[in-house]
Structure 1
Amino acid sequence: MFYVSCIVSQLVYSLGGSAFPGGVGSEMIEVVPFFHKMAYTIMSQVGKENEKAVLATTILAFSISSIITGLVFFLLGALKLGSLIGFFPRHILVGCIGGVGWFLIVTALEVCAHLDGSLTYTWDTLTHLVDPLHLGMWGIPCLLAVILMVIQHFIKHPMVVPLYFLAVPIVFYIVVLSVPSWHLENLRDIGWIFEMPEAGVPFWHFYTLYDFRAVDWKALFNTIPAMFALTFFGILHVPINVPALAISTQLDDLNLDRELRAHGISNALSGMLGSIQNYLVYTNSLLFVRCGGNSRVAGFMLAVGTAGIMMVGPVLIGYIPVMVVGALIFLLGFELLREALWDTWGKLQWIEYLTVMIIVVTMGAWDFVYGILIGILLACVSYVIQTSRVSAIRASYSGVVARSTVRRNPVQQRFLKNIGHQIRVLKLSGYMFFGTIASVEAQTKALLDEKNDEHKPIRYLILDFGNVSGLDFSAAEAFTRMRRTIETRHVEMILSGVEPHSDVGKSLRSVGVWNDKSPVPIFSDLNAALESCENEFLSAFYERRDQEHAQEPDQNRQQPIPADNNQTLSPASIYGTTPRSSNLLAAVRTTLKEEGPLPMNRYASLKEPLPLILQTFEKSTDKNEDFWFRLCRYLERVDVPAGTTLFKVGDTAKSFYILESGILRCEYELEQGNLTECIVAGTTCGELPFFSETARTATVTAERDSVAWELTSREWEKIKKDDSELAGELLKVSMKLTTERMAALTSYVLTSS
């Protein structure tokens, strides 16, 4: 049965089933304990006295279990579930390689030293191993393996290993024959040569044990749970052996689905031919490849050779020195341990290397499966530790740096720069869970610390979820605690980059971060959140400015503030004695001092559009009102009702606008996504495409009833012809304004990414 399973698997893999040209298939040795359980279950029900029924039922159970294993393997491959191996940490596979190496060394000791049963880490075992006779029996094979490793270090030829192991038995028999007192039978009895197996039994003898009339079907049915347990255990080996072999043979284009289908076919065929489970054996394949058998022809020849040995019989085994097999097993064990522990030194992180060592020790001293389970557990723990070290806060900006894309006039820009530190943006990223949320809570508390509050008080704290992929229950609850902490410091928490009905939004709502009774302002993107905060500060600014100048505000031009996207923030009050109110009042007074007299007072004797031109261009030119008066006759007043589209993307730029009142909304359609900005009174619109004579890059629509002054292409041609100095200065101003806008947009893109 062993030979049939090996031949079937080898033919399937070598004839194209597997991606490994030199892959070696063999019986799945690890399932033998399950076979024992199935056999004992059947024997307990059928009875020892019914030997024929026991054998017939047991051998049929073995073959059926192989068919079931094959079906499960094939279904996994057909459903393309092999990609799940990508979630299996590579250092766990390395640890398994080392564990197999330890297991092979232990096996070599058991075979060479003739231990009764498995090796146990006891004093009696140590005494047995250091006995002079037994020490020589396992010490010589161990020394032979070490010598071969030294030779391989200097000679890389693939024929070194096979020639070496052909030479060892030749030297052994030369030594034996040179000593007359040494006889093969004595050496076989002592344990230097394998025992002679029973001869005369045909290779097809196990087929005579199949007798469906003698099968106890009830007992067979009772072994089904063991069959499925065996199948599950067998499945665990493929995701471990195949990727490990791919690493060792440097096969990069591994398709695990293909390997699963190949295993399904080989196991199903093996069961149908009356044999047992098989799989692609890591150690045998690695030895075969390193000996030069990395081709499908070599694999096919191996199958033919195995079939020949099966037919001839195992008579040759009785003449093979034990040291040959022992040295071979020692060699594989040493190489795998070196690959796992020596070659990875300095390449793995210390926690990954520790995990590899724990897996190796657990597999060697305890159990192979337990080693894998402990490795997976340690990988999960190390993942939590390493992930928690990476802050979930991608970046932190104040409102001085993080600005909305609203195109504001110079006075508003100066004021927002002075008060921007009262806006704080925390950009969150990744999947937030119990291991990463702690850093967010800690930094939030640090921002709200009393010392920071006195020097740089915060009024609005924006938590941007634009780059957050999800959060667990612990992280969601942490935001509830953070909200309570933030509110006790009279700071308003704002959420951006989250939709109420998204997965993140549902998680936050489920723990009460916001609800209908106590809503938290939520914005679809960071730009909208920043715009709303800036509007609140500007409202306070205009209110205080009107009080300072003891007059009613000009609703059209002097308070050009965009809409708040249906979200209501707590007002930024200039009254009170809190650090925020005092700081806000100081920012207002500083800006008013820099501004000087109101524009309407400063240019009271002038007629529009000259006051508008001077107010809009004041930061970009040193020319006086006499110079810019020359521009007025080329401009035409245009009324733009709400909802009117001034121009669209791709249109020819025929006009340039200076906005006197109202608000325009500009929408950019980029390959990376859409970007929106507001244009308020006292700013320009459409200057770059107009002066550069290129197509429009955005669509501009009036959000409110607006008034603008338009410079058409025809009038621009007149300016260039009649007043070249004015044309040059206008171009210079437009370039400066464009530079400011590009800097603002670039800053927003960088802070929002």
Structure 2
Amino acid sequence: MKRYLAPAMLGLFAGVDTLGSGIAFATLLFPGVLAAGLGTGVGIILVSAAVLSLILAWRSTCPNGIPLVQETSIAILASAIAGLLPALTALPPEARTNTVLAILGVSTAMTGLLFWLFGRLRLGALVRFLPYPVIAGFLAGSGWLLVEGGLMMITGEHGLLASARHLGDPLVQAKLIPAALFAGLMVVVLRRSSHPLAASGLMIGGAVAFYGLLSLWGIPPEQARNWTWLPTVPGDGQVSLPLPTTLISGADWSAVASVIPAMISAALLNMLGLLLNLSGLELAQGKEIDTNAELRTSGIANLLAGGLGGASGYVGLSVTLLADRIGATGRSAGVATAIVILAGVAWASSLAAAMPTFLSGGLMLFLGLELLLEWLVASRRTLPRRDWMIIPAILAATIFTGFLTGLAVGLAISVILFVYTYSRQPVIRLTADGRTLRSSVDRAPAASHALNSLGTRLLVLRLQGYLFFGTVEQVVTEVKAHLTAPDSPSRTVLILDFRHVSGLDSAAVSGFSRICGLARGLGLLVVFSHLSLPVQASLRRSGLSLATPDAAAQQPLPQALMMADLDHALEYSENILLGQHGDLSQTPAPMVQHLRDLIGNHPRLPDMVTAMTRRVLTPGETLIRAGETADELYVLAAGQVKVQIALPDGRSLRLRTMTAGAIVGEIAHYLGGRRTADVIVETPVTLYCLSRQHLMHLEEADSGLALLFHRLLAVTLAEKLVLANRQIQSLQQA
């Protein structure tokens, strides 16, 4: 029994609620000289609501989702139609009605087309990138338009100032005071009670009280209608639903075209509202909703409703959650809602004529107050002050200049705040010099010691994020501070690493041109590392020449150099510094001198050389192969080798480069096991090797000499550890 009772109860509640709101919406859309179309407008809105319910009951991804005609889009269109009243007055009554219905239908069709396109292209998530405060401001602005519409229904004047001039009229006060009381009562009751009959009960109670007072005071309904306490619905009380062809031929399409911006605004707001409701349902129901599928279904439903000249709508959050609570979990809830709505269409004109003006106006005031309270007042507790200030700004622009201006103001403020906020995000990931950042080249002790003192001449900036006009100034300012400050050390090379840069705009390109110009004036070499192809193209389009390493070899100090990555840029820069210091990286030295540089002077250094085996290798030979047993260590006397690993795609990745004076394989020598990388000879190499077995023999036969070898390895490992710690500290500070 509950299987059928729950959907029936929900359908009755949702249907009655739609009847009441449909009449109020129609009254808002057909004010004053447009009142001749009120009955037809009510019927069209109700039929379109039934169509929405049936389509979503059939295809929605939320089986018990109940669509509602949306008051926000009605508010926008009503405001636009009110602005057309002078032009519409010159039209015959039937043409006025057709024009308003055409505006309503085209707007709904535009909403449906937007829904369907975004769902078909799977772009539903894109709309969620609109800043939340802007969405809140739009909805608060819509709330104001509903409040303004409610006042227009009561005073018969469009605009707050025009309505204010009639507040002294006793007949207006007789509508305004009960409308305000009804709206306030609705706010209080519905915030304290979630009972499905609360809203319907208040509306029915208000109507009963109104007619009871008319009877008590002896005021006939005709007199109340003359005082505009009741709406005037011309005709015989029957609802006549115009055919789409009638709307096409009978509407003033120039007037329809003039409100296209308002239609676009309504469509966008409907998109945002639908996605917000779907997000709320996902959170409340604890299950994922296919947003794109729901957009397509809602799009088809709105296209059909728009073809009838009806109003737009989509799944409602509160009524769908109510369906969950009372156990209406199937698609029959939407069907039941449609049946109740269609049953009321036959009496739509009579219901519209019998609905007191204060009740329709009060309902509009209530809907507007709810939006203002939720999106203007309640959001103050959840949003930062700076973000929240966008909402009253949009609301103020909507009040004084209109919804479209409010829309533009909100977007403009959001863009400005985004640029301001993002420009304060650090785009300099790391600032370091050559003392803390080193290349992966193991150099001779003398060269390493020289780099410790020369490291201040190398400045490295690792950049990150998207560089644009709001952030590039950080880079320019940082470079100036390090290059031109009175207490800054003398610099030779500036490295700008782009590994974590996602892109840059023309203003950022101009900033780097300024940096290169400043560096050129100070005699510095600028090295760009890890440039993507788009960034390279942008820099070159600005007129900045980027020299490759081969071209740089022909220029003592090129303007700007481009390297594959930071490691190669550091290696190149270190070579420049060492070259200025006497080219220590290439100075040949005897093996004894390398050992003396590592562990200091000792009378047995020649014995260490004698204890090792001398080998000479040619370029391309493999000194160490990954997977081999680690049973030897090597000391390079001359030449250069590289340490690399093989990647899954067949390419090789360089890990380190080692030059004269470097020790190869000491870690694996101590730990044992297998080699983890290949060591390839790059230039003619002279090296000395010591096997594990021979070292173990020395420990027994000549412990003093063995101790020197262990001291050599300990010093080497300690120096590598110190350098690694410096780099880790730099990265932690970034």
TM-score normalised by the chain length of structure 1: 0.76
Does residue 242 in structure 1 map to residue 242 in structure 2?
A: no
Shift of 1:451: 0.9
Shift of 1:277: 5.3
Helix, strand or coil for the counterpart of 2:165? helix
Q: Answer yes or no: is the 8 Å Cα contact 2:61–2:290 preserved in 1.
A: no
- Number of equivalences: 668
Q: 2:527 aligns with which of 484, 494, 498?
A: 494
Q: Give how far 1:648 is off.
A: 3.4
Q: Deviations over 1:13-38 (max 9, x none)?
A: 33343559545243864567999999
CA root-mean-square deviation: 4.4
Task: Determine the structure 1 residue equivalent to 2:38.
Answer: none
Aligned twin of 1:386: 421
- The secondary structure found in structure 1 opposite 2:397 is helix
Q: Which residue among 459, 478, 493 is the counterpart of 2:511?
A: 478
Deviation readout 1:124-164 (Å, 9 max, x if unpaired): 53231254543352233323433444455555656544444
Provide the residue aligned with 2:588 in structure 1: 557
- SS at 1:129 equivalent: coil
Unaligned runs of 5+ in 2: 1-43, 548-554
3-state SS, counterpart of residue 451 of structure 1: coil
Q: Deviations over 1:335-394 (max 9, x none)?
A: 221222222225434442222211122223332222222211221122222222234322
Describe the SS at the equivalent of 2:375: helix
Is structure 2 residue 660 aligned with structure 1 residue 681? yes
Check 1:433–1:277 CA distance in 2 against 1; reply closer, same or farther (3 A cut): farther
* Cα-to-partner distance string for 1:499-525 (whole Å, 9 max, x where unaligned): 5xx111111111122267964122121
Q: What CA distance in whole angstroms lies between the structure 2 residues aligned with 1:688 and 1:737?
A: 10
1:206 aligns with 2:248: no
Q: Is residue 2:299 matched to residue 1:264? A: yes
- Point out the more displaced range, 25-34 or 691-700: 25-34
1:711 aligned residue: 690
User: Over residues 576-627 of structure 1, what are the superposed CA-to-partner deviations in whole Å (9 max), with x where a residue is unaligned?
Assistant: xxxxxxxxxxxxxxxxxxxxxxxx6xxxxxxx5x654444344xxxx9544x
Aligned to 2:141: 99
The aligned counterpart of 2:152 is 110
**2:227 aligned partner:** 190
Match of 2:494, as an amino acid? L
Q: Choose the corresponding residue for 2:178, options 135, 140, 147.
A: 140
- For 2:491, the equivalent position in structure 1 comes to 458
Note the C-alpha offset of 1:262.
Answer: 1.9
2:434 pairs, out of 399, 412, 420, with 399
Alignment of 1:54-133 (within 5 A): 70=112, 73-111=115-153, 114-118=154-158, 120-122=159-161, 124-133=162-171
Greater per-residue helix proportion: 2
Asked whether the 8 Å contact 2:156–2:163 carries over to 1, the reply is: no
1:694 counterpart (670, 673, 682):
673
Mapped partners of 1:236, 1:438: distance in 2: 36
Preserved contact between residue 646 and residue 702 of structure 1 (Cα < 8 Å): yes
1:685 positional shift? 0.9
Asked if the contact 2:237–2:350 (Cα under 8 Å) also holds between the matched residues in 1, the reply is no
User: What secondary structure is seen at the aligned counterpart in 2 of 1:394?
Assistant: strand
Take 2:252 and 2:209, find their aligned partners in 1: how far apart are those partners?
A: 51
Distance 2:712 2:196 in 1: 76
1:92 CA displacement? 0.9
Structure 2 partner of 1:358:
393
Give the CA deviation at 1:75.
3.3
The match for 1:738 is 717
The alpha carbon displacement at 1:649 in A equals 3.5
Alpha carbons of 1:76 and 1:497: their partners in 2 closer, same or farther (altered >3 Å)?
same
Corresponding letter in the other structure for 2:160: Y
Q: 2:569 aligns with which of 514, 526, 529?
A: 529
> Which one of the candidate residues 452, 457, 474 is aligned to 1:439?
474
Q: Which residue of 1 aligns with 2:56?
A: 13
From 407, 424, 445, give the equivalent of 1:372: 407
Name 1:541's counterpart in structure 2. Answer: 581
Could you say which residue in structure 1 is the equivalent of 2:8?
none
- Aligned residue for 2:496, secondary structure, equals strand
* In the alignment, structure 1 residue 507 sits paired with structure 2 residue 489: no
Structure 2 CA distance, aligned partners of 1:437 and 1:328?
53
| Cα distance, 1:108 vs structure 2 | 2.1
- Which segment drifts farther, 223-232 or 400-409? 223-232
Contact 2:105 2:311 in 1 (8 A): no
The higher-RCO structure (CA 8 Å, 6+ apart) is 2
Partner of 1:468: 501
Q: CA deviation at 1:485?
A: 1.8
Q: Which residue of 1 aligns with 2:598?
A: 616
CA distance in 1, matches of 2:246, 2:407: 40
C-alpha change, 1:534 and 1:718, in structure 2 (3 Å) is same
- Secondary structure of 1:659's aligned partner: strand
1:334 counterpart residue number: 369
Question: Partner of 1:581 in structure 2?
Answer: none
The answer (yes or no) to whether the contact 1:159–1:292 under 8 Å persists in 2 is no
- Seen in structure 2, the aligned counterparts of structure 1 residues 239 and 151 have a Cα distance that, compared at 3 Å, is closer
**8 A Cα contact 1:169 1:320, kept in partner:** yes
Q: Percent identity?
A: 24
Unmatched tracts of structure 1, length 5 or more: 546-553, 559-599, 601-607
Where 1:428 maps in the other structure, the secondary structure is strand
